[in-house]
Structure 1
Amino acid sequence: MSHFEHLRSHAIPALQATMEEYVAPASGARHIHLTTSGAEMAFLVGFPTVPDASDGRAHILEHLALCGSQRYPVRDPFFAMLRRSTATFMNAFTYADRTVYPFVSTDENDFYNLLDVYLDAAFFPKLDYLNFLQEGWRYTLTDGVLGYQGVVFNEMKGAFADPGHALYKGLTSTILSGTTYEVDSGGDPLAIPELTHQMLKDFHASHYHPSQAVFMTAGPLPAAAVQARIAERVLARQIDASTRRVPQLASAFVAPQRNTVRIPSQQGRDNEFGLQMTWLMGESAVPKVAFEASLLSAGLLGDAAAPLMKAMETAGYGRPSGFNGHDDSARQMLFHVGMEGLTEAQAPMAEALIWATLEQVAEQGVEHATLQAALRDLKYQQRSTRSGSMPNVLERLLVALPVAMRDGDVVTAFDSDAILQAMESDIADPAYFKALVRNLLTSPGRLVSTIVPDAAYFSDRDAVESARLAQASAQLTDADRARIAADTVALEAHQKTAFDSQVLPRIRPGDVSTQPRALPAFAPTADDIHAFSIGSNGISSASIVYDVSAIPAADWPWLALYTQLRDDLGLEGQDYAEAGAWRQRMVPSFGFDLQPFQLPDGALRIDLTVSANALREEHANIVAVLDAYMARPRFDEAVRLRYLLERKVENTLDDLAQAGSHYASMAVSAPLAQVRRFQDAIAGPTALAFNARLKTLAATPEGVAQVAAELARIHAAIVAQRPSMLCAGSGDDGHELARLLAAAWPTSSTTTGATVAPGASAEAAPQPPANVALHAAGQVNHCNIAWAVPMSHDDDAGALSVAAELFTNQVLHTALREAGGAYGGSASYAGDSGVFSMASFRDPRLAATYRDFDAAVDTILASDYSDEQVEEAIIGVIKKLDKPEAPWDAVRLGWRMFRRGTDMATRERFRQGVLGCTQAQVKAVVQKYLKNGTASRAAFAGNTEQDLGGLAVVDLSALAGA
């Protein structure tokens, strides 16, 4: 007999899916299942976690729950399953009011293997004390000096480098005062040491229980089969019910409030102030609240012509805040409007500007077409099959989960058609939107925050931490010191303890296909037009692709700037605001992109792609937008161009520390491969010099005019050739779209200008390896080391890819994360560029990490790994190769393979090299390319007083023109 009762089913034709809802009456556990025909099967279990302190208990518990359980009493089952499973996604997330454990797999056996592991981890974790010391926090004694260590402790030090993190907590701690959102659920490193192991265990007992749980699944599997496993593994052991936890509601404001929020700044420049206005609205799980907030975002801020956006962008000072828009991350919807890049004196001016604009809109409203486009976008988002950082099917579940946990109608999270139809009638009345804006003006639930840059942000926090350590050190007894030393020894032994892996299920190389996954096939055509039929839920997509490989390296930064700014500029006969509003009404998705490829001979090929996606009834709109942006550009809006340049420059300067890992990874590999050299030139440390140049050019009318001329020159070089065209849609939609596009393009693409012949650029001369420590103020490091190796067409490619997994699983995870305290440590093989690298992320160490990198090579060569360990590494490679793509993404991937010259035979050869890889082959390539090779080293260093291991310091702020 099932523990679950069926409550309702709801068909969703737009998704070709059915939502089913169940409850287990004895415990109160809920199960929501989305039946789909896609290959991926998704699972998650979510718990409401509502901490009342910033000690990171919810976040540390998330980590600790994955460190061994009653049924799987091994040290690290989560990371072990990462290499024993073909899952396309495995992770866990801590939000402000919930913790979620999700995975996705395409293999049914693998799905149920992971289901067993996840259920036991969530409901019956060991919560071992030594794992608490490793994952949460612990004292260390180095030469008698007391310190802190811990994975989450260091992870959050890295998170606090983000000015946005400090700003958001400054806002929510006030406007949501008295609720769980007031505290930092991830953990404030200054508060994390207040958490004890017992407090963590108590938190698990009170929050992780079937009565609190929401189970969600999706895919081509029966709900009853999942429920039977949940009943057997969990409900048979935990059936008592308790009151379900729901996040608190903030107390109503009787009058608007003000506060000051200090955010980290590299130099405390006088133009880093900000002004943020935040409104407290209704409950985010209520559909009407959610969709009206979306309308406010679209009507006020949705494009360059939207009244608030236009007012802020044309103010002559500052720029719109990155926080602007509606925010449903809390139980109560928030709405943010603000400006950044201000001087202190401009903050009151920004407040007055925002207020005056809202009053104007409350009187005059916005165009009906703008609101129609907003509703169209919501419909498009519901149908979209595109994936971001996780599978689309899981994204849908994660969007629906907070609605379910906050007592909303979960059906509306999957199917909004009825609500959107009702809102079509609402927006037909001009008074409707005006009233929404008037409610903002009259609401007492408003917070006005002044944002202050603080160059001493990190040093002040370091001083507080040092003072607390000094106080704790002074109070240590001999017994305390002995206990810390004993804990350190015990943890080191624990981390080195081998476990019986046989207790964990796994997928073996023999269980997977010997053939590469199918991708849309491309072949040369006379007109270079390629059309496909895909399962897209009625969404059609088109890309116009220009081969810009012959553009010289000196112009790469200009080419990148063109792609970044082009859709923010105007068209002939339309200024930027008119063009942006028109485009938004025509299509829901549009953009430019640069895609570099490295050919087997090392030469570089570069595609510039302009794409549009829309509902199937908007084919003509897709064609019109693509045609307009490539045939009728304008670069003469000097005021607009200056604003865009200043925004780009300032955003780059603001994000130096937060982007430290990215800059280090670019710097380490740029000397080793052409494609990495290109990426560094447009987005790495080398690009920062171009940023400084743009800052100078933006300061004068002559400089802005020079930029405009360069952009026009780049555009002429791009459109002087005939592009390739990719089209796809449901049924015959892709072919019909291709016919419309082909009919329009011969006349629209005629242009004058210097012709750039298509083809591949020549291979550049080798560059010396990097040896740099890129510096911006921060509290953590990111370390990288890399070697030049053969690309994926080479016979050694399979062994190199398996070697990267073996390094990660058997050496680096233990050395860098468990023992070293970094949030992450891994190796990777990039077969598309011929680069093998190792990296650490949010790392408290630097020189010691490089010693670990060097030692890792010797460890791999000296160790005798079991067949099982090698097979785990093989599976780690295969699951990346087999990860499904969304239908349109698969078309684009097939195109990239075609452009690279990677045919099916090449893919088959690489796959066979992976599946047949031996330990001897791994050691041979490690010896040949790593041990005997020349390493490139680049790190991001949060401070330069630490041991830098011989790396030369490069100041990112100076490089970027601060």
Structure 2
Amino acid sequence: MKVNDTYAGFRVERVETVKEVNGVAYLLHHEKSGARLLYIDAPDTNKVFSVSFRTPPKDSTGVAHIMEHSVLCGSRKFPLKEPFVELVKGSLNTFLNAMTYPDKTMYPVASKNDKDFHNLMDVYLDAVFHPRVAEDPHIVMQEGWHYELDSVDNELTYKGVVYNEMKGVFSSADSILERHMMSELFPDTTYGVESGGDPDYITDLTYDAFKAFYHSYYHPSNSYMFLYGQMNIKEQLDFINDEYLSDFDAITVDSEIGLQAPFKAGKVASYPYSIGKDEDEAGRSMHSLTYVMPEMTPEKSLAFEIITHALLTSPAAPLKQALVKAGIGTDISGYYLDSLRQPIWNITATGSDMNKQRQLQTIVEDTLRDMVAKGLDKTMVEASLNSTEFALREADFGGRPIGLAYGIRVMDNWIYDRDPIEILAYEEALRTIREGLNGNYFETLITDYILTNTHKALVSIYPEKGMQEKKEAAEREKLAALKASMSKEELETIVEQTKALKARQEAPDSPEALATIPLLELSDLSPEVEHIERREETLGAARLHFIPTAAKGINYTAFYFGVDCLTEEELFYAEVLSDCIGRVDTDAHSYEEIANDINLNLGGFSIDMAAIGKSGDRNGYTPLMVVRAKALHSKLKELVRIIDELLYHSRYTDAVRLTELVKEEKAVWDTEAFRRGHTLVSTQVTAQVSDIGRFRQADGLGYFARLAELVKDENGLSRLGKKLAAVASKLFRTSNLNVMFVGEEEEYARFKELVTPVIGAWPDAVLPTGVLTFTGDYKNEGIITSGKVQYVAKGGNFKDHGYTHVGAMSVLENILRYEYLWIRIRVQGGAYGAFANFYNNGNMVFCSYRDPNLTESLHVYDELPAYLRQFSVSEREMRKYIIGTMSNLDLPVTPSLRGARAMGIYFGEGSEEKQRKFREQVIACTQEDIRALADVVESVMKDNHVSVMGGEQKIKSAADVFDTVVALPQ
């Protein structure tokens, strides 16, 4: 395509090669409708499409978020209740979702299959341009909010998917802090309101206001379309024009994101948040100091990412250390965010008290002034620059399509009427920034945008016991008063609306409506597994594994140490050890120097605890500590040196530093525990029935509980160093080691040459294995939090009842997630979601997510066998479930994930042949196979293994469900 040529109504405005994304960018404008389109032609079969809109809300009713949910609930060409769900059930997509941001809404999809990609585009374009929600208020009632009243004698309540989702969001203290922070910083613009919706205001949204929002913003003239990958672009443009854009004429849409006028002086504000009546208030305050920037160039934004990494993210971060040492908080974090028209730079202190509030700003600005006056440590800044540059070049997004990341990134410029292409290019910016190391480039940025910046706010939240209970009581009183003010006719109208909504939710879509969703054939599926070669050899007492892979000159390594030589007590210290290595001094360097060394030479370093189940084995699993590092091939020598230094020459003698790290980790858990509730309660259930579940529980709530005890135990903290050193000496032995390397042949030869003498010098003592056992009393637990919603899990182990893991169970996971549990838990129950997992060791868990209910959801799980015995769908619907299941088995594999997958097969004693047979079972799954699983589910449900995390009132009202009721660790 050439500039100024027109294709299917799209005029080409610009063509530019962008070497950073290995593609050519075409910027187009659809002249009739006013739509914008950016296409990146790149040699990638994982194609991406998105359609986005600038959607600045004017209040906190969540209208933009509810709109995102609602437009996906039926459209002109696809008149189903939820085409989105039908797509997920039966698509080979590699990504399918929608996202609400503070000022925009995005609808992205991705697939490697051409036909599937076309289908996804069609459904999404019809959803946004021709949704049924504009004529059907029931959709907004379901997805947003509605009054729930089953009979005139019952209590009037609120219900709705987004309403409960946001209740869950605002159950986390950091979300509450961010909400107040943004309202203080942007009192006059869209950023000062909550685009996702504040539960206190969501119920103010009217259907008329909802429709007005749609008609204001969901027009092609306000749209931004993005295409990426290897495709026939002219066919795609013809389709978009002929099926959609040709129906519209360009209009003027007033959707500009306003600028907040700078403050003449900074603000200071404090707000309460709720904790449980039995929770300790000490150390539970959080402070946030945030600066608002003017509109920034991509180069300056990249520079601020580097500044943030250097000052706040790295273990050597001097600003973070200054705040920790001053006792401002047990955890200090920060970020730079440029996905707003006016970017923000933030420092947050967790684990603090209100008397520390003012000190935060004083220390931050005094420390920065001192650093600017003396000049920033060039080695520290260069190390952070290298780390940032590595991430840009690697472009690994954890298995998500790379085109998706590009599509999201271009919007950070595009919707503010800035160049969407320039933000993808970084080479020139990196050159300028690197040259700036020789001068005062970074010091000038800090002075101009932070130290002399008066557009800032210091916002804190402090704990208040019983606040949530008071709020819930006030809501009940408000609804009771509202009900009392209504006439009998008004109440009967709400009862009828409730019944009508439930009838709509329960009614199946017609076969004709279902048939409108395009579907692939089973012949499009393959049982074959992508082969990942793994070569194994011995290296002294260790085992070396090579996964041949071309990875753009980047090598990935992992050092696996078995932890079954440890006792249960020692396992806890191994967990602590994994958090400390790389963040304490070594024999040769301070931890600050180590952090710079890592950032200068590596692309990443991490340590995790892992448990890999052995294929088909009821209790067999391999417990591991995994040390991962990645680097450019030219830095392999440094990688091996750093691993050697960290594992065998770390010092655990600085009690003050170890105490800082333990308190920091505890503060992170305090913030994150509720957000991870679904994972934690699922693990609590599997801990009742399996050793691997007990190991993971020890890495979850068990670890949190022990960590909370350790923080309060001065004697324990004083002995911590000796405990860590003892555990390290037991773990880090060559007879206990497997090493993985991902790269090319000559790179592997070089790695082997480097690592052989190093490993040869490591201890090789042989210690007993099979030592690790668990002695805990694992019961049905109700875990009380100050949260407004629940995570409800129930499960067990089907091998205890004589059943084996089969492919039909994965198909059933898909059926439950997007049919039975979706309808019963989400649509009817109002939860954000629910899922089911069947594992090959026999573990089985059902879990709801951000759920307003508790016992009702448990009943839904218990009623599943009856549903399964009556399970009957058309051949087409069954095919849909199978295709969707295969999509989950065929997620894209990056070079780093190839290594992890190969080692998972090795430690799990699996094989590609077993995987192929399992895939054959999935493809061949029948309705009879699904019905046969009713007995499996029923037998496990009768075992009655339950765990729930949620609000105090809900937990205590269901006390008979639990063997014990506890609070989150303090």
Q: Which position in structure 1 is the counterpart of 2:649?
A: 632
Q: Which position in structure 1 is the counterpart of 2:836?
A: 827
Q: Per-residue CA shift, 1:891-917, capped at 9, x if unaligned? A: 211111121111122112211111112
Distance 1:915 1:574 in 2: 56
Q: Does 1:587 align with 2:598?
A: no
SS in 1 for 2:557: strand
Q: Which position in structure 2 is the counterpart of 1:729?
A: 743
Please report the TM-score for the alignment, with normalisation by the length of structure 1.
0.94
Distance 2:725 2:773 in 1: 27
Alpha-carbon deviation of 1:931? 3.7
Q: How does 1:457-856 map to 2 (within 5 A)?
A: 457-499=467-509, 500=511, 501-523=514-536, 525=538, 528-599=543-614, 600-601=616-617, 602-684=619-701, 686-697=702-713, 700=714, 702-722=715-735, 723-729=737-743, 732-747=746-761, 749-750=762-763, 755-757=766-768, 770-790=779-799, 796-831=805-840, 833-856=841-864
CA contact (8 A) 1:727 1:735 kept: no
Q: 2:184 aligns with which of 169, 174, 182?
A: 174
Alpha-carbon deviation of 1:430? 3.5
One-letter amino acid of the structure 2 residue matched with residue 859 of structure 1: Y
CA contact (8 A) 2:559 2:738 kept: yes
Q: Does 1:882 align with 2:890?
A: yes
One-letter amino acid of the structure 1 residue matched with residue 561 of structure 2: Y
Alpha-carbon deviation of 1:572? 1.1
Q: Per-residue CA shift, 1:388-442, capped at 9, x if unaligned? A: 3733331232122222112232223322001111122222104642552364222
Distance 1:418 1:647 in 2: 37
Q: How does 1:121-136 map to 2 (within 5 A)?
A: 121-127=127-133, 128-136=136-144
CA contact (8 A) 1:43 1:102 kept: yes
Alpha-carbon deviation of 1:954? 4.5
Q: Per-residue CA shift, 1:705-734, capped at 9, x if unaligned? A: 321111111111111224222222367434
One-letter amino acid of the structure 1 residue matched with residue 897 of structure 2: D
Q: Which position in structure 1 is the counterpart of 2:3?
A: none
One-letter amino acid of the structure 2 residue matched with residue 618 of structure 1: K
Label 1:529 to 1:232 Cα distance change in 2 as closer, same or farther (>3 A). same
Alpha-carbon deviation of 1:871? 2.4
CA contact (8 A) 2:568 2:774 kept: no
SS in 2 for 1:195: coil
Distance 1:113 1:734 in 2: 43
- Consecutive unaligned residues of structure 2, counting only runs of 5 or more, are 1-6
Distance 1:346 1:255 in 2: 20
CA contact (8 A) 1:312 1:320 kept: no
Label 1:393 to 1:628 Cα distance change in 2 as closer, same or farther (>3 A). farther
Q: 1:399 aligns with which of 399, 409, 412?
A: 409
Alpha-carbon deviation of 1:923? 2.2
Q: Per-residue CA shift, 1:184-223, capped at 9, x if unaligned? A: 1111111111111121111111111111111112222133
Distance 2:416 2:260 in 1: 14
CA contact (8 A) 1:721 1:756 kept: no
Alpha-carbon deviation of 1:551? 2.3
Distance 1:334 1:953 in 2: 47
Q: Which position in structure 2 is the counterpart of 1:289?
A: 300
SS in 1 for 2:221: coil
Q: Does 1:46 align with 2:52?
A: yes
Larger deviation, residues 888-897 vs 702-711: 702-711
Distance 2:462 2:700 in 1: 28
Please report the TM-score for the alignment, with normalisation by the length of structure 2.
0.93
- Consecutive unaligned residues of structure 1, counting only runs of 5 or more, are none
Q: 2:427 aligns with which of 407, 417, 420?
A: 417
Larger deviation, residues 372-381 vs 362-371: 372-381
Label 1:255 to 1:953 Cα distance change in 2 as closer, same or farther (>3 A). farther
Larger deviation, residues 673-682 vs 91-100: 673-682
Distance 1:5 1:244 in 2: 23
Q: How does 1:83-482 map to 2 (within 5 A)?
A: 83-127=89-133, 128-142=136-150, 143-243=153-253, 245-266=255-276, 267=279, 269-284=281-296, 286-322=297-333, 324-388=334-398, 390-430=400-440, 432-434=442-444, 436-437=446-447, 439-482=449-492
Distance 2:501 2:630 in 1: 53
Alpha-carbon deviation of 1:95? 0.8
Alpha-carbon deviation of 1:107? 0.9
Label 1:431 to 1:46 Cα distance change in 2 as closer, same or farther (>3 A). closer
SS in 2 for 1:88: strand
Distance 2:550 2:16 in 1: 21
CA contact (8 A) 1:303 1:580 kept: yes
One-letter amino acid of the structure 2 residue matched with residue 804 of structure 1: E
Q: Per-residue CA shift, 1:49-88, capped at 9, x if unaligned? A: 1000100100000110010001101111100111111112
SS in 1 for 2:498: helix
CA contact (8 A) 1:717 1:755 kept: no
Query: How much identity, in percent, do the aligned residues show?
Result: 23
One-letter amino acid of the structure 2 residue matched with residue 626 of structure 1: I
Q: Which position in structure 1 is the counterpart of 2:39?
A: 33
One-letter amino acid of the structure 2 residue matched with residue 641 of structure 1: L
One-letter amino acid of the structure 1 residue matched with residue 790 of structure 2: N
Q: Which position in structure 1 is the counterpart of 2:4?
A: none
Q: Does 1:918 align with 2:926?
A: yes
Label 1:624 to 1:564 Cα distance change in 2 as closer, same or farther (>3 A). same
CA contact (8 A) 1:572 1:633 kept: yes
One-letter amino acid of the structure 2 residue matched with residue 283 of structure 1: E
Alpha-carbon deviation of 1:320? 4.1
Q: Which position in structure 2 is the counterpart of 1:6?
A: 12
Label 1:439 to 1:655 Cα distance change in 2 as closer, same or farther (>3 A). closer
Distance 2:850 2:896 in 1: 34
Alpha-carbon deviation of 1:634? 0.8
Label 1:8 to 1:728 Cα distance change in 2 as closer, same or farther (>3 A). farther
Distance 2:362 2:19 in 1: 47
Distance 2:865 2:555 in 1: 49
One-letter amino acid of the structure 2 residue matched with residue 555 of structure 1: E
CA contact (8 A) 2:306 2:388 kept: no
Distance 2:470 2:673 in 1: 19
- Give the number of aligned pairs: 947
Label 1:289 to 1:956 Cα distance change in 2 as closer, same or farther (>3 A). farther
Label 1:730 to 1:92 Cα distance change in 2 as closer, same or farther (>3 A). farther
Alpha-carbon deviation of 1:929? 5.0
Alpha-carbon deviation of 1:153? 0.7
SS in 1 for 2:589: coil
Q: Does 1:894 align with 2:902?
A: yes
One-letter amino acid of the structure 2 residue matched with residue 864 of structure 1: S
Alpha-carbon deviation of 1:949? 7.0
Alpha-carbon deviation of 1:769? 7.5
One-letter amino acid of the structure 2 residue matched with residue 918 of structure 1: T
CA contact (8 A) 2:685 2:793 kept: yes
One-letter amino acid of the structure 2 residue matched with residue 917 of structure 1: C
One-letter amino acid of the structure 1 residue matched with residue 886 of structure 2: I
Distance 2:371 2:772 in 1: 55
SS in 1 for 2:261: coil
